Structure 1
């Protein structure tokens, strides 16, 4: 199986600071203490086993917020030095609410492999699921700085919950020339009721109605620690049905999802679920869409 993996994380604890790994905790996504070790390209390729990883996109690993550009500098150095060009694309971290956001975006954009920005937006009434405690999409300065993405040709990775999807769809409509990519199939966390499912389904449809929004099918194991192919199946198929094979792409979320399954097991699960798709559709979902959307 050949794949382009558009959502991986790397970290080197001996040279860089990641606050969440300095004092790792257990949360709904698993036990971060098990992730407190270096994870580099060679580790990813070892984990890949029989899966042929053609290209990867690195998404910010919650590096030191005091120096987000250092992570991009480090990653570009890895791509330049190791010969394979990995990570082929870099989705950098930036706080778009900060006064210095324009300077940070300009600095990120100066690196050859930078393709986009992610700022985690997840807000939830339940403290267990709340990441950031503030609604960035409601803040005027944050919204003004989103407009700068177009200037630098940068996409924006949307990590959010279904309750935030209507706001995100409005944001995408305001910036039709900016590519937005929904992370982790919309992070459907409220699974205990029909209301929660409806919020996810309708929110995803609102986002998919914007032609400049795509989606990564990834991170499913964070919400389904004892997953099976059949437990993944409805979320995978609903997401593909909503966005179409031309705007959906599979991704691993490694090494985070490594807590709940091997690299080969997760990719083989995706393959089993879409086994009846056409060859061109499978090529789009596993390779071509990630290359096109992240321009790698």
Structure 2
């Protein structure tokens, strides 16, 4: 089985600082204490096993916020190292677009050959259990002004957010129609215990899908379904593909984070089982071609 994985994380705890791994805790996405160890390309390839990993995209791993460019520098070095198979092939770097130095940070990220875009986590939620940032960044004037700089560098934006933020994100996408938006983790549907929660996710995804410059990664589902099965993932996978279409959806692993809840092979085989009736061309788009095209790798 051949895949391009557009959402992986690497870290080297010997040489770099990741605050969340320095003092790991337990949250709704799992027990970070189990992740407090180096995770490098060799570990990813070992986890892949019989899955033929053709290429991958590294998404910022909450590296030291005081020096986000150091993570990109290190990843570019990893990609150029012997035995790495040039992975990661694409880098989605970290930036705080609300910061005074955002323009400089973007300039430095852009200097590295494998940089393709940036991510700044946007998740805000009324329940403190799910709240990441505690502020509505998309509403802040400085953040919005700096967002315009992505176009200058030809960078995409990985949007990690909740359904309650999707309408606002769609307005942002329409204002920046020449910037590629990529929704992380199928929209992070956390409010699963009510009809209203499901409706908010479904309608929010439809609103985003109306923007031609928005695509989606089907990933991170295990963070919200620790005892997942093929059948428990199926409705979220199929609803996401139906909403965005085969041309704007792609599967991803979110490894090693989702590795707390199943093996790399089991996850990809689950995706394959869910879309087993799709055509070969549709499968190629979902597992390989869309990631290559959207991340230009």
Mapped to 2, the partners of 1:253 and 1:153 lie a distance apart of 24
Per-residue CA deviations over 1:193-212 (Å, capped at 9, x if unaligned) read 00000000000000000000
Mapped to 2, the partners of 1:268 and 1:295 lie a distance apart of 25
Name the SS for the 1:246 alignment partner: helix
Name the SS for the 2:237 alignment partner: helix
Per-residue CA deviations over 1:6-54 (Å, capped at 9, x if unaligned) read 0000000000000000000000000000000000000000000110000
1:31 aligns with 2:31: yes
Aligned ranges for residues 250-269 of structure 1 at < 5 Å?
250-269=251-270
Q: Post-superposition shift, 1:127?
A: 0.4
Per-residue CA deviations over 1:204-259 (Å, capped at 9, x if unaligned) read 00000000000000000000000000000000000000000000000000000000
Mapped to 2, the partners of 1:3 and 1:116 lie a distance apart of 21
Aligned ranges for residues 118-197 of structure 1 at < 5 Å?
118-197=119-198
- Gaps spanning 5+ residues in structure 1: where? none
Aligned ranges for residues 1-296 of structure 1 at < 5 Å?
1-82=1-82, 84-296=85-297
Tell me how large the CA RMSD over aligned residues is.
0.5
Per-residue CA deviations over 1:176-205 (Å, capped at 9, x if unaligned) read 000000000000000000000000000000
Name the SS for the 2:80 alignment partner: helix
What TM-score results when the alignment is normalised by the length of structure 1?
1.00
Name the SS for the 1:216 alignment partner: strand
Q: Post-superposition shift, 1:84?
A: 1.4
Mapped to 2, the partners of 1:158 and 1:215 lie a distance apart of 9
Mapped to 1, the partners of 2:223 and 2:85 lie a distance apart of 30
How many equivalent pairs are there? 296
Mapped to 1, the partners of 2:295 and 2:11 lie a distance apart of 21
Per-residue CA deviations over 1:102-154 (Å, capped at 9, x if unaligned) read 00000000000000000000000000000010100010100011100000000
Q: Post-superposition shift, 1:85?
A: 1.1
Mapped to 2, the partners of 1:167 and 1:42 lie a distance apart of 39
